[in-house]
Chain A
């Protein structure tokens, strides 16, 4: 059974950094495209970034380009999102996705 477990969220000041992790199990991680999605309560979900199975290709929504970096470690079956220069508008619940499978999310709050 597919399981995706995010961690690393928390409270951070504007301009700060945070690294999210996603531990994957129940599928062949090294063969799957992975992505991060976020959602602000009361708003629709927003795709943030994806990464190719071998890590050779990534893509980002315009609002995070240059600030966020998606990466993966196939040996550890883990997905990461390095977030820097964080802004108040980055406050959201962040989910790890594989195709139609979602993790339970980790909350990121950017506030002074």
Chain B
């Protein structure tokens, strides 16, 4: 069965650079969540989209932006990267309505040097 695809799997950037993380939901999943998990930390909610509109916002820095496209994939854009942005970034999706669970991608490991 198709799963949530995140790319790239690993990303290495330098301070002040930009990064774009991509998330491809399972077909017919119209809701996307982004989470950030720092080393040894719990995942923190960043932002979510439903039907291509932002539905909720968490602790997302102003340097980050995200959007959901017409094909329901989502991109998280991160600018002026800082060392503290190094983390595992998860995307999770579900088809809306009553759903058993969020389906998580394998995550993108971002390292800022």
Do A and B actually bind? Answer: no
B interface, CB within 8 angstroms of A: none
A interface, CB within 8 angstroms of B: none
